[in-house]
């Protein structure tokens, strides 16, 4: 058997539920959520009805509880949204086919030729700078670059576009 709420509580509910739910709907933008939170506030009031009924304005207590519930709901939604925004996968375009071809072609070169080609054409170092870094004669670096360019030209459709000439003396 279900206990029925006291008549004075039922009157409070009938007289204020709709108005309070409309207020929360305007605040939250979600009609179902507004109704749920209004219902929750009235349920809490019913649990405490013996003390709340003595208040000058029991509806003020219900309204405060409903608004607190709505504010908490918005706070949780904002926190969840910020968390999810940080968790979203970012789309990063894959490498262009020319880039993949260049990386593959460079990987096929002997280590010293590859390092010289990368340092010179992509890093912008001069043959003298590379020679100093590698501890070899500048002529050796020029030889590595020539051999590297020759090997790359055999593997790439347009090696000139792939490796722009950078001259630093």
Per-residue pLDDT tens over the stretch 65-101: 999 999 999 899 888 888 877 776 777 788 788 778 8
| 111 and 66 belong to one structural domain | no
Q: Report pLDDT for 163.
A: 54
71-85, 109-123, 128-142, range with greatest mean pLDDT = 128-142
Residues of the domain holding 158: 97-162
> Do 107 and 130 sit in the same domain of this protein?
yes
Domain termination residue (choose one: 87, 118, 134): 87
Would you say 145 and 127 are in contact if contact means Cβ atoms under 8 Å apart?
yes
pTM of the predicted structure, to 2 decimals? 0.50
* Domain-located, residue 63: yes
Return the closest-CA partner of residue 44 out of 75, 13, 77: 13
Domain end marker among 30, 64, 87? 87
């Amino acid at each position: 058997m279900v206990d029925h709420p006291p008549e004075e509580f039922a009157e409070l509910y009938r007289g204020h539920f709709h108005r309070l739910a409309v207020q929360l709907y305007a605040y939250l933008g979600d009609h179902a959520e507004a109704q749920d939170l209004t219902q929750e506030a009235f349920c809490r009031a019913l649990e405490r009805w013996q003390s709340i009924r003595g208040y000058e304005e029991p509806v003020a207590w219900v309204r405060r509880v409903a608004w607190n519930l709505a504010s908490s709901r918005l706070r949780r939604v904002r926190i969840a949204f910020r968390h999810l925004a940080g968790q979203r996968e970012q789309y990063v375009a894959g490498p262009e086919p020319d880039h993949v071809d260049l990386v593959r072609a460079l990987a096929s070169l002997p280590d010293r030729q590859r390092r010289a080609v990368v340092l010179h054409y992509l890093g912008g170092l001069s043959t003298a700078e590379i020679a100093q870094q590698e501890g070899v004669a500048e002529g050796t670096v020029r030889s590595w670059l020539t051999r590297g360019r020759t090997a790359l030209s055999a593997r790439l459709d347009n090696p000139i576009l792939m490796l722009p000439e950078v001259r630093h003396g």
